[in-house]
Amino acid sequence: MPSAAPRSFSSVPPTTPTSPLGSGARLGPGWRRRRRRGSYGGGGLCREVRQRRRGESRVLWFELEGEAGGAGGWASSLNARMDNRFATAFVIACVLSLISTIYMAASIGTDFWYEYRSPVQENSSDLNKSIWNDFASDEADEKTYSDALFRYNGTVGLWRRCITIPQNTYWYSPPERTESFDMVTKCMSFTLNEQFMEKFVEPGNHNSGIDLLRTYLWRCQFLLPFVSLGLMCFGALIGLCACICRSLYPTIATGILHLLAGLCTLGSVSCYVAGIELLHQKLELPENVSGEFGWSFCLACVSAPLQFMASALFIWAAHTNRKEYTLMKAYRVA
């Protein structure tokens, strides 16, 4: 068989791209430039990706630029992120301050700073009746109400003293215990004269001289808790003004006030402990009688470190925020 003639590739006419306007349309030089740039195929996709990236970059730049523009907008955006961190510390400090204020107010208003534990006195003898009457008298001196506190499970606060006695008292001792011996708590408030009254070297003996140390300890333990509450309330007003002004710098004053409030609370607790110890040196506890600090005293002890922690957070947030703002401002000027 005769062999087929080999095909020549040179005989195939070269193909030309089809014009979008049709086969008969004439292609201009602009179409060739678009073809070289990649209008079709993968080149067009790459151009779309580049345009999308340019748009996203432009939007991001406009967001960072803000009103100041350029590097100032970047600094303001960074400063805003820092403000969020400082605002978190500010909120935590406010919560600690609120808890410490509640604890301090509860400790001032309750009567369980110190508690005495003694055997129950069920008989209603003349001596017990006299002690109860002297305890309830407005002219009771330190020794009189202290003896009643020792004998009848007394509790002492900053404002009041309380004892536990039978509900119905008799001038004679009944043969057996009845329902009339249900125990009730009787409290007497310290008057302002008693709060500022001088303490004597020998309690109850006005001729023994004035004990200046116990006198000023008693006055301090009464006044310092109110000073602490006042400082925290004033600091809260400054913190509220800082929130309204949207600035953390005024909270430096709030932190300083909380620091002073913590020192006052700590001083009040220390004065109370020292005063109780000195009193027990003058008046020894009877047998089978014990004393311990109550939960009101514990609330005051817990309030002091909370105030110190709140003060540290307030001062750190305000000082560091001010420092970062100064650095950002210097950067913008540069």
Q: Per-residue pLDDT for the chain (334 aa), expressed as one digit of tens each?
A: 444 444 444 444 554 444 444 444 455 555 455 444 444 444 555 566 566 666 555 544 455 444 444 444 444 444 444 457 777 888 899 999 999 999 999 999 999 999 999 886 655 556 667 777 778 777 778 888 888 898 888 999 998 999 888 766 544 444 444 444 577 888 888 888 888 888 888 887 888 888 999 999 999 999 999 999 999 999 988 888 877 877 767 788 899 999 999 999 999 999 999 999 999 998 888 888 899 999 999 999 999 999 999 999 988 888 776 655 454 444 444 4
How far is it, in rounded angstroms, from Cα 196 to Cα 77?
58
**What angle (nearest 5°) sits at the alpha carbon of residue 187, between those of residues 212 and 224?**
40
Residue 155's pLDDT is 93
Residue 95's pLDDT is 94
Long-range contacts: 176-183, Cβ < 8 Å, 24+? Answer: 177/122, 181/122, 183/120
pTM above 0.85, yes or no: no
Residue 130's pLDDT is 74
> Please, what's the b/e burial string for 46-85 (b: 16 or more CB within 10 A of its CB; e: otherwise)?
eeeeeeeeeeeeeeeeeebbeeeeeebbbbbeeeeeebee
How far is it, in rounded angstroms, from Cα 56 to Cα 220?
66
Tell me, rounded to whole angstroms, the distance of Cα 108 from its chain centroid.
Answer: 19
Q: Which CATH class is domain 85-333?
A: mainly alpha
Residue 265's pLDDT is 96
In sequence order, what are the beta bridge partners of 115?
A: 155, 292
Residues 225/159, Cβ–Cβ less than 8 Å: no
